[in-house]
A and B are shown apart, each in its own frame.
Chain A
Amino acid sequence: MEQRPRSFYVLASFFGLFILFLYGPTLTIALLSFQGPQGGLTFPMNGVSLYWFRDLFEQQAVGDIWGAFRRSLILGFMVMITTVVGSVMAGLAFRKRFAGSSVLFYLAITSLVIPSILISLGVGLIFNQLGFRVHWATSGFGSQLTWTLPFGLLIMFAVFNRFDKSYEEAARDQGASAWQTIRFVVVPIISPSLIGVALFGFTLSYDEFARTLLTAGSYNTLPLEIFGMTTNVTTPVIYALGTLTTLFSLCVIGFFLFVVWILGKRRSRFGSDAGKGL
């Protein structure tokens, strides 16, 4: 092995500092959420207890955290499934030329770069003027999709840019129909990326704030609930909540990564038998 240049150590320390910068604050509130009952929002720790976590599970004076969590969870799954299905379909469509494809592409880009508050405002206005009630499962759902679907589409572009077309041609040569080619060749090959799209869909929805603000109606999603708490809660209970929902996010991420890893294992075991013939 070649010796590492001095720049390696400089850059490695920079990287370490960056990671500390990324995770340090979150770890701090995780630590502070174990404050004693008399503890405040900052150090020093005033004893160590689970007081603030217990507080979360008891009857809430402010808001409805568990209801909000349940709604965010359901909405996250709705957005996740729609995002996966929608972006795979759109990704397949964009592999061919079709009238309006460039308009649709630029619309998707616009959807990504448009300030979120405009979606919130516009959807809210339409619902009000049409006399519909805004609700997290209708207007909130649609507004979140304007952020997750284009993201999923970009991932699908990345996937199909790297896709080896000869697999499809081989399948067709073997007599597979168009549908069979998609179902038994294309989808299995891109499935790890689909897990990635699902992860994006779920987590972006679960944490979405700006696009849901004016479109969730009278029942808050969890991020809205947490934001409401920041204005009137001055105890570490908010850190406890932050720690729990971050832990939940980490579990979700871990689960998805685990599935991708399992798929990779299976693939290397059952995938190709090249070189094993004799």
Chain B
Amino acid sequence: MHRTLITWLQAAPLTVILLGFLVAPIIMIVIVSFWGATEFSIYPDFQFENYQFLFNSPVTYKVFFATFKYAFITWAFTLAIGFTVAYFLAFHVRSQTTQIALFLLCTIPFWTSNIIRMISWIPFLGRNGIANQTLMSWGVIDAPLDWLLYSDFSVILAFVHLYTLFMVVPIFNTMMRIDKSLLEAARDAGASGFQTLCHLIIPLTKPGIMIGTIFVVTLVMGDFITVRFMSGSQKANVGRLISNDIALLQYPSAAATAVVLLCTVLIMIAIMLRFVNIRKEL
């Protein structure tokens, strides 16, 4: 009895925070999603109007589609880049000190500000930015490209820039746990480098890929600030739909959209968690 009490006390701070700032807010959002709103206030009610409006509006479907599109393209790029980088670090760098140093070099940007990292693309991508100037001086293009900044291109570029880290770290982590003697055995048995990669390394790295996927997909699905900033408010995703409603004080309708988004994300995560045991893989 005494022991159980201590265990519960140890778990208490986490539990209290999660109950107060995760569970309660979700419950509140679900409740408010049934409320009504006037132009300047919200009032308790039990109506399905917010959901009706949401599901009957063609904008909703378009915006959800755009959100999935961002998530999928970003996922594909972060996975390809993240896997290659992790593979290089884990199997081609021989000294452990170099390995740690290069790994830190990859993770340091994670600890700096996302907003500044977004801002830092402006001198690159703008109409008179470095990219356009370079391409024009090389004679590749005659007029500056307009679609470099404030477009789907810049949004996805920023996502890949911000979130590839979330792929590199878990994939590198699982790769480091692969028993090196397996690689030797594969080579002794006559496998080519490519065969070792396909039949040994990729299958054994799947848990890391899954964890990275969970992070990247959820970060992109829930984002509103990258899309707003990098598209110059010209593109929309679900997060922006919610934040626009919030700005207009339409909390019930924001809450309804939030509930739908949350369900979508949780269903996706539940499916992905079937393929990986997070606690074991860390």
Instruction: Say how far A18's CB is from chain B's closest CB, in angstroms.
Output: 5
Instruction: Say how far B131's CB is from chain A's closest CB, in angstroms.
Output: 10
A73 contacts partner chain B, Cβ-Cβ < 8 Å: no
B1 contacts partner chain A, Cβ-Cβ < 8 Å: no
Whether the pair A142, B17 counts as a contact (CB closer than 8 A) is yes
Whether the pair B222, A118 counts as a contact (CB closer than 8 A) is yes
Q: Collect the chain A residues with CB atoms within 8 Å of residue B108's CB.
A: 250, 253
Interface of chain A residues 19 through 61 with chain B (CB within 8 A): 19, 21-26, 28-29, 32, 41-43
B116 contacts partner chain A, Cβ-Cβ < 8 Å: yes
Given A43-B123, A114-B262, A253-B108, check contact A104 B29 (CB 8 Å): no
Q: Collect the chain A residues with CB atoms within 8 Å of residue B161's CB.
A: 21-22, 25
Whether the pair A43, B114 counts as a contact (CB closer than 8 A) is no
User: Could you say which of B46-54, B55-63, B82-90, B199-207 contacts chain A?
Assistant: B82-90
Whether the pair B130, A125 counts as a contact (CB closer than 8 A) is no
Chain A interface mostly? helix
A207 to B255, CA, bound (A): 26
Instruction: Say how far B122's CB is from chain A's closest CB, in angstroms.
Output: 6
Whether the pair B229, A104 counts as a contact (CB closer than 8 A) is no
Whether the pair A115, B218 counts as a contact (CB closer than 8 A) is yes
Whether the pair A42, B123 counts as a contact (CB closer than 8 A) is yes
A238 to B123, CA, bound (A): 12
A82 to B21, CA, bound (A): 14
A8 contacts partner chain B, Cβ-Cβ < 8 Å: yes
Interface of chain B residues 248 through 278 with chain A (CB within 8 A): 251, 254-255, 258, 261-262, 265-266, 269, 273, 278
Q: Collect the chain B residues with CB atoms within 8 Å of residue A119's CB.
A: 21-22, 25
B145 contacts partner chain A, Cβ-Cβ < 8 Å: no
What number of A residues sit within 8 Å (CB to CB) of B?
90
Whether the pair B85, A121 counts as a contact (CB closer than 8 A) is no
A129 to B32, CA, bound (A): 10
Given A226-B115, A242-B119, A250-B108, check contact A98 B8 (CB 8 Å): yes
B136 contacts partner chain A, Cβ-Cβ < 8 Å: no
Binary per-residue interface labels of chain B (212-225) against chain A in the complex, 1 for a CB within 8 Å, 0 otherwise: 00110010011111
Given A26-B120, A42-B123, A104-B15, check contact A114 B222 (CB 8 Å): yes
A123 contacts partner chain B, Cβ-Cβ < 8 Å: yes
- Using a Cβ cutoff of 8 Å, how many contacts connect chains A and B? 253
Listed by A's residue number, 27 A-B pairs whose Cβ atoms lie within 8 Å are: A12-B92, A25-B120, A25-B161, A28-B120, A41-B122, A98-B8, A105-B279, A114-B218, A114-B222, A115-B223, A115-B262, A118-B25, A125-B255, A126-B28, A142-B20, A146-B17, A146-B22, A149-B18, A157-B279, A203-B111, A204-B111, A210-B223, A210-B225, A227-B225, A245-B113, A246-B116, A257-B104
Known: A121-B258, A252-B111. 18 other contacts (CB 8 A): A7-B193, A14-B84, A25-B161, A93-B10, A104-B18, A118-B222, A118-B261, A121-B29, A121-B254, A125-B251, A126-B25, A129-B28, A143-B21, A199-B111, A223-B115, A249-B111, A250-B112, A253-B111
- Enumerate chain A interface residues (CB-CB to B < 8 A): 4-5, 7-8, 11-12, 14-15, 18-19, 21-26, 28-29, 32, 41-43, 82, 85-87, 89-90, 92-94, 96, 98-101, 104-105, 107-119, 121-123, 125-126, 129, 142-143, 145-146, 149, 153-154, 157-158, 161, 199-200, 203-204, 206-207, 209-210, 214, 223, 226-227, 230, 238-239, 242, 245-246, 249-250, 252-253, 257
